[in-house]
Amino acid sequence: MAAPSLEDIETVTVIGAGSMGHGIAQVFAMHRYDVTLVDIEEEPLSTALENIEQSLERLGEEPGPVLDRITTTTDRNSGLSDTDLMVEATPEDIDLKRDVFAAADEAAPEHAILATNTSTLPVTEMADATDRPEQVVGMHFSNPVPLIDLVEVISGEQTSDSVIELTVALSEDVGKTPVILEKDVPGFLLNRINYAFWSEGLRHLDDGRHDAEAIDASIRRLGFPMGPFEVLDFAGIDVFYMVCQALQDRDVPVVISETHENLVEADAYGMKTGEGFYDYPSPGEYARVDIPRERRHEYNPYQMIASAVNAAAWLLDNDVTTMEDVDTAMRTGMSWPRGPLEFADEYGIDRIIELLERLHEETGREQYDPHPLLERMVEQGRLGWKTGEGFYEYDHETTSFGSVEYERREFVARIVLDRPDKLNAMDESAWRGLRAALEQARGDDDIRATIVEGSGRAFSAGDDIPEMAGWESSDECQEYLDEVLLPAIKAFRAHPKPTIALVDGIATGAGCELVLLSDLAVAGDGSRFGQPEGTIGALPPIWLAHGTTSVGKKKLLELATTGDLFTATEAHEMGLLNYAVDSEQAPDVARELARSTTASAPGSIESIKTIWNGVEDDLVDDWLATATDELAERLMSDEGRHGLEAFIEDETPRWER
């Protein structure tokens, strides 16, 4: 039988007055529908009405007209006799649900649609209990129903297309965002991805490598309003336990973590019991957990994202749902700032696979075995932002400026110093290339931040020493400084967008000075910094003129006079870096920093930079000019000649007075 049209649906019967049931009743009643709420006893029904009233008041809605549209009854058959749509919201017990569906099939009019709000059980098995399987559909709301807009619309094996269409229209009519699951797979979309995501976090609590705070801090870092353990505490650790069991029952390879088991055994379900991963003031009383921000780089949150992406790939490759619906569901239903596939494209599909392979090797768990869909994407060059196509398509542009590569990745300009065999030493072509690349980024209104990095094992080892050794007079040196190096430095400082130095390796001499002059800087933990110019008979002009705005005098002079290399941790401690993180995470932390700056108005950022440069110029006065004059002298001195020659000959210079 053809499904009724949206206009034909006027009465809705909700079976079960628990937290989901009363929320569903409220939402339909708020949108023109006459609702009958059914439960086996009076008490849950009166509690449900009280809860609906309170919820409406909190939403600033007048309760009267909405409550007037809700009738309650303990007589299921009479509640169904005149219904256009049943939404079943009873406990997650397949036998119970099949009973409800069989009874509804008897009691409800022939045209009525029978929907289940199950979060995990097979819609098809409920449909089988009726003689109208084509009119049985999954309509999975999210808790709290009045606040979370997602509805998973699930097709059972025989659900008709017109019933799916109608369920989508109904969801939209009550202000919800529907996503469609063409197949009735265990966990549907949300819980399948939630399991993949949360279980990767939970695993670490068992082995003690990371704690809940560190993992929550790292996920918040990506823009999530709450970390996974805060969410589990809020939603109910027991509820997720039931989801895990239901997935297991339906042969999904699920590993329930020991920590999870222990919490459930101890009745520590989270906020509702006052205790879970965190403690709460009293049972049922929510207090936002204080997660220390400084712990946000301890764990790599992309491990959880990668696990979620793998689960999403399974859904896509099995034609269960669409890319857009995966991302919409996680954004709308779980408050992800971006969907898993959007995250994957940004991170790089090749890197997602690398992470998964490592996790698979570490755990042997099937959930981490990279899905063939991801492998096919890599074979096709669909790596995400970096190739202009991943799950989605992007505007992508690459240009070479001599040994400097320019790449536009969404809102970020990526400038790569690319002379890896010379540790990205800055010769004339590199300085000119840097300047041209900055110009390109400057002219692109869509670019909101510029990341400068090096290819290979260095950021940059500094100015090109053989090139410097080729200068024959101070004037030649001065001319180079005035026409090549200083204009590039000036363009770097005056760049209107935030500049972020991303270091993963060596940053010495002018390389270290570029880090000093960048607005923000992130380095991998294996990086080494230094100002060794004195050891080749030269001096570091920018370090001396600008250094004290970041580094104290004693440290600045110690490093300039000894040429000692120092670590990323030391660089961070002395104020040269915003973050020193493990190398694997460094590019992501730099990109996240770039994204964070997009919260500020581009004009404000430009003003902020202008003012800071002015303050620094006042402090620096004309010392940079003095330092470059001095450098030109030094390089032409006997010391300078000897030092440069010694480097080229790979000898230790001998300094005599």
Nearer to ligand A1D88, 102 or 624 (CB): 624
Please list every residue from 516 through 535 that binds ligand A1D88, using CB under 6 A.
532-533
Which of 191, 199, 300, 310 is catalytic? The answer is 191
Contact between 547 and ligand A1D88 by CB under 6 A: the answer reads no
Question: 232 vs 516, which CB is nearer to ligand A1D88?
Answer: 516
Distance CA 519, CA 166 (A): 54
Instruction: Return the number of the residue (329 or 423) whose C-beta is nearest ligand A1D88.
Output: 423
Our finding on whether 506 is near ligand A1D88 (CB under 6 A) is: yes
49 binds ligand A1D88 (CB under 6 A): no
Count CB neighbours of 275 within 10 A: 18
Question: Which stretch in 46-54, 441-449, 494-502, 504-512 sits in contact with ligand A1D88 by CB under 6 A?
Answer: 504-512
Task: Tell me the window of 8-16, 210-218, 220-228, 455-463 that interacts with ligand A1D88 (CB under 6 A).
Answer: 455-463
Asked if residue 505 lies in contact with residue 459, where contact means CB atoms within 8 angstroms, the answer is yes
Active site residue 140: yes
- Looking at residue 386, the DSSP 8-state letter turns out to be G
171 labelled catalytic = no
Footprint of ligand A1D88 on 608-637 (CB under 6 A): 631
Count other Cβ atoms within 10 Å, centred on residue 260: 23
Tell the smallest beta-carbon distance from residue 626 to ligand A1D88 (Å): 14
Q: How far is the CB of 564 from ligand A1D88 (least distance, A)?
A: 11
Nearer residue to ligand A1D88 within complex by CB, 238 or 463:
463
DSSP secondary structure string for all residues of 628-645: HHHHHHHHHSHHHHHHHH
Q: How far is the CB of 462 from ligand A1D88 (least distance, A)?
A: 3
Q: Is 504 in the site for ligand A1D88 (CB under 6 A)?
A: no
Asked whether the beta carbons of 514 and 452 are under 8 A apart, the reply is yes
| Active site (annotated) includes residue 191 | yes
Q: Could you say whether residue 484 binds ligand A1D88 (CB under 6 A)?
A: no
Amino acid at 180: I
Contact 190, 150 (CB under 8 A): yes
Q: Which residue is nearest to ligand A1D88 (CB)?
A: 509
CB of 511 to ligand A1D88, least distance (A): 7
Of 119, 199, 424, 460, the active-site residue reads 119
Q: Is 538 in the site for ligand A1D88 (CB under 6 A)?
A: yes
- Return the range that interacts with ligand A1D88 (CB under 6 A); candidates 185-193, 277-285, 460-468, 575-583: 460-468
Q: Based on the shown chain and the rule CB under 6 A, indicate whether residue 425 belongs to the binding site for ligand A1D88.
A: yes
The yes or no reply on residue 342 touching ligand A1D88 (CB under 6 A) is: no
Q: Does 424 bind ligand A1D88 (CB under 6 A)?
A: no
179-218 positions binding ligand A1D88, by CB under 6 A:
none
Find the binder of ligand A1D88 among 98, 360, 365, 422 (CB under 6 A). Answer: 422
Q: Footprint of ligand A1D88 on residues 464-483 (CB under 6 A)?
A: 464-466
- Between 228 and 509, CB nearer to ligand A1D88: 509
Work out how close the CB of 274 gets to ligand A1D88 at its nearest, in angstroms, rounded to a whole number. 56
| Residue of 429, 384, 418, 598 lying closest to 500 (CA atoms) | 598
φ, ψ of residue 365 in degrees (nearest 5): -80, 135
Give the integer Cα–Cα distance in Å for 379 and 372: 10
Does the bond joining 63 to the residue before it have cis omega, within 30 degrees of 0?
no
Should residue 505 be labelled a site residue for ligand A1D88 when binding is judged by CB under 6 A? no
Of 453, 494, 481, the residue nearest 588 (C-alpha)? 453
Annotation says 152 is catalytic:
yes
Q: Does residue 418 bind ligand A1D88 (CB under 6 A)?
A: no
| CB of residue 234 to ligand A1D88, shortest distance in Å | 50
Q: Terminus-to-terminus CA distance in the chain, angstroms?
A: 102
Nearer to ligand A1D88, 52 or 631 (CB): 631
Applying CB under 6 A, the span of 66-74, 281-289, 391-399, 417-425 interacting with ligand A1D88 comes to 417-425
Q: Helix 302-317 and helix 340-347: axis angle, to 10°?
A: 120
Best CA proximity match to 416, nearest among 389, 396, 437, 432: 437
Q: Which is nearer to ligand A1D88, 118 or 478 (CB)?
A: 478
Catalytic one among 140, 210, 297, 371? Answer: 140
How are beta strands 396-401 and 404-409 bridged, if at all? antiparallel
CA angle 307, 313, 317 (to 5 degrees): 155
Please give the biggest Cα pair distance in the chain.
Answer: 107
Residues 377-406 contacting ligand A1D88, CB under 6 A = none
Indicate whether 560 belongs to the interface with ligand A1D88 (CB under 6 A): no
Asked if 463 interacts with ligand A1D88 (CB under 6 A), we say yes
Instruction: Give all strands of the β-sheet with 412-417 in edge-to-edge order.
Output: 396-401, 404-409, 412-417, 449-454, 499-503, 520-524, 579-581
Cβ atoms of 410 and 374 closer than 8 Å: no
In angstroms, rounded to a whole number, what is the distance separating the alpha carbons of residues 22 and 24? 5
Size of the site for ligand A1D88 (CB under 6 A): 18
CB of 361 vs ligand A1D88, minimal distance in Å: 30
Looking at 176-184, 290-298, 395-403, 506-514, which segment touches ligand A1D88 (CB under 6 A)? 506-514
One-letter amino acid for residue 317 of the chain: D
Please list the alpha-helical segments (H only) found in 501-540. Answer: 510-517
Exactly one of 423, 436, 515, 568 binds ligand A1D88 (CB under 6 A); that residue is 423
The three-state secondary structure class of 162 is helix
> What minimum distance in Å lies between the beta carbon of 422 and ligand A1D88?
4
508 binds ligand A1D88 (CB under 6 A): yes
* Rounded-to-integer distance, Cα 329 and Cα 339, Å: 8
Determine which one of 88, 125, 134, 152 is catalytic: 152
Contact 281, 337 (CB under 8 A): no
**In 10 A of CB 211, how many CB atoms?**
16
DSSP string, 3-58: PPPGGG--EEEEE--SHHHHHHHHHHHTTT-EEEEE-SSHHHHHHHHHHHHHHHHH
CA distances from 33 to 65, 170, 203, 409 (A): 11, 11, 45, 47
Q: Show the tokens assigned to 457.
A: 């094992």
- Please list the active-site residues: 119, 140, 152, 191
Catalog residues that contact ligand A1D88 under the rule CB under 6 A.
422-423, 425, 461-466, 506, 508-510, 532-533, 536, 538, 631
